[in-house]
Amino acid sequence: MEEGTELLNRIKNGGKLPLITSCSPGWIKFCEHNFPDFLDNLSTCKSPHEMFGAVIKTYYAQKMGLDPAKIYVVSVMPCTAKKFEAKREELANSSGYADVDTVITTRELAAMIKEAGIDFVNLPDSDFDNPMGNATGAGVIFGATGGVMEAALRTVADILTGEDLKDIDYHAVRGVEGIKTAEVNVAGKTVRVAVASGLGNARKLLESIRRGEATYDFIEIMACPGGCVNGGGQIIQPSSVRSWVDLRALRAKATYEEDVDLPIRKSHENPVIKTLYDEFYGEPGSEKAHHDLHTHYHRRENY
């Protein structure tokens, strides 16, 4: 919602383009050190789990009458760089507390489950809290390279046309190739896009832009080849599996299959998100939303 609105505003108001996504903390740190001339191109949007932490400690705390000082947010991530991200001073919210208190990886969670001897197959049915409802298909595909861009474009296209578009699968930005470029028709407007995963590919793409060899409106970059589904915190498979199976492609395929099966596939159609804006933020890109859900980055001279 926020990133799609940011893209629209930059295109309409002559803002800095290309807009470059900012969900991958490994990529952000790489950009701060190696491509500081692109910092103004970065989306100011916090990454999803940081936004979620901010919402929990502001909107949800207020709604439930909770003291944010007593809320401890743990993110389970496929990414080791998220541990560093959670400690950034820039990632705190209007509650005065860090958005996310601790990050553990999916691999660490699996080890904990194994150590605790939890047998999920035979656990009895039980209820659990679901504070912010279910994710849409747009949320699910964030983990695959190209998914962040596709999620944003689904919302942007509906806003531009004022319609509930049915053709929402942007196949041009899918796939595990290191660099993908395309011209995508969004509500009759041609949007020049590029998707890169793996920092070597990110370097190639940005250097080509520096040299004036390519021009884009919207760029997605993920530090890990294939995106978050192939993150450094994921379960490590033995070579007998990795040598014969492209885990990036299989995991991405699973996310797109889940996306198709979900009843809601666009962020702006999620009833919980609608309520969040109606009751708290007003609209995407509002001053209050910027305060809680956006951040900034800075040049880093030394490693």
Catalytic choice (2, 3, 150, 220): 3
Nearest to 11 by CA among 151, 216, 293: 216
Nearest to 296 by CA among 10, 11, 22: 22
Q: pLDDT of 210-228, one tens digit each?
A: 999 999 999 999 999 999 9
pTM to 2 decimals?
0.93
CATH C-level class of 2-123+130-289: alpha beta
More confident residue, 224 or 135: 224
Q: How many CA atoms lie within 13 A of 110 on its CB side?
A: 9
Range from 28-32, 98-102, 185-189 carrying the lowest mean pLDDT = 185-189
Please indicate whether residue 301 is annotated as part of the active site: no
Say what the pLDDT of residue 130 is: 83
Please indicate whether residue 220 is annotated as part of the active site: no
Please indicate whether residue 108 is annotated as part of the active site: no
More confident residue, 133 or 261: 261
Say what the pLDDT of residue 247 is: 93
Say what the pLDDT of residue 129 is: 83
Is residue 258 very low, low, confident or very high in pLDDT (cuts 50, 70, 90)? Answer: very high
Please indicate whether residue 6 is annotated as part of the active site: yes
Please indicate whether residue 23 is annotated as part of the active site: yes
Catalytic choice (16, 63, 87, 90): 90
Say what the pLDDT of residue 302 is: 64
Q: Has residue 190 got a pLDDT over 60?
A: yes
Please indicate whether residue 85 is annotated as part of the active site: yes
Say what the pLDDT of residue 132 is: 85
What average pLDDT does the segment 161-181 reach?
92
